[in-house]
Amino acid sequence: MDALERSIDALLDSYVREGGVNHAVGSNLPSREAVVSALADIQTLVFPGFREDQSIDDENIAFVAGELAHRAAKVLARETRRSLDYKRRTAGEASCPAACDIEARELVLAFFEALPGIRSLVMDDVGAAFRGDPAAKTIEEVILAYPGLDAVVAHRIAHFFWTRGLPLIPRMMSEYIHGKTGIDIHPGASIGKRFFIDHGTGVVIGETSVIGDDVKLYQGVTIGALSVRKEEGDVKRHPTIEDEVTIYSGATILGGRTVVGRGSVIGGNVWLTHSVPPFSRVYLPEGDSARIETRFMDPGASI
């Protein structure tokens, strides 16, 4: 046991020397388990009757929704206060328990006021998935079984908090769903209406990406940065994807100045670091992995 005690002493020394401790001095950091629990309750509020064992009918839906909302709001308010306190401490400001409590409650209330609008966006996403995938037999199948939809729902929730300047929690939400679905959407990314990710595994969408309406992505698509230098963290370094663009599997589109014009189609495994005009078709010719062609495409033409 002496050897174990020496190991414990060395571990304690590493806490002092190297950090990485959620210390009891001041507020604790947000709890992963609590944030995931709140996210699950919110997802259930978005799709009542789909994500829990309890049956929903016209008589009990108000009670069930109210119970879920109150539970999620209580957890979110506590974890949001911890995040706000962390934000002040990392900025060198004094801890502010009372002020953070008020700010946290106001932010959570603002989220629940926005939730009906978020839900409308999500239902449009469901419709886009149903219309965009011939394999989808019903709307219910999309809601129950599509990982791309799970990722988009979590993103729309996390994005609300990201745009309000809340640290930690939006990333915790997005990384949880990343681990669950294999789809990595930074909560800072701006995504328009009727967004559909088909299959989804390996999709990466960076922090400053801007994606328009009616965009469809397939598996393995990366919308990323050309540079990963730390000093460029506050500049736009990810592409803009305009409305009605389709990007096929394995395509990589990089750079903050790269704009994919409206109505374009980006073929599989394309590597794109420059802008293309609206209604372009960018692809790798069969048998030639070195050459990429861009062709202007009539808006009414099929690919």
Residue 303: predicted pLDDT = 46
Nearest to 277 by CA among 289, 291, 265: 265
> Measured between alpha carbons, how far is 73 from 105 in angstroms, rounded to an integer?
8
Length of the chain: 303
Considering only CA atoms, which of 186, 197, 238, 242 is closest in space to residue 219? 197
pLDDT in tens, 90-144: 888 877 767 789 999 999 999 999 999 999 999 999 999 999 999 999 999 999 9
Question: pLDDT tens digits for 249-260?
Answer: 999 999 999 999
* Percentage, residues of the chain above pLDDT 70: 89
Output the CA–CA distances (angstroms, integers) from residue 144 to 51, 125, 134, 149, 169, in the order listed. 8, 14, 16, 9, 25
Per-residue pLDDT at 100: 86
Report helix, strand or coil for 20.
coil
- For residue 227, the model assigns a pLDDT of 76
Contacts 24+ apart (CB under 8 A), 173-180: 173/35, 173/36, 173/39, 176/32, 176/35, 176/36, 176/39, 177/39, 177/150, 177/151, 178/151, 180/147, 180/150
- For residue 94, the model assigns a pLDDT of 74
Q: pTM for the full model?
A: 0.88
- Beta carbons of 291 and 273 less than 8 angstroms apart: no
Domains of the chain in start order, with CATH, are 23-181 (1.10.3130.10), 202-303 (2.160.10.10)
Q: What is the dihedral of CA 245, 246, 250, 252, to 10 degrees?
A: -10
Which tokens go with 213?
């309406």
Q: Are 187 and 162 in contact (CB under 8 A)?
A: yes
Band of residue 157 on the pLDDT scale cut at 50, 70, 90: very high
Q: What is the pLDDT of residues 43-91, one digit of tens each?
A: 999 998 887 776 777 778 888 888 999 999 999 999 999 999 889 888 8
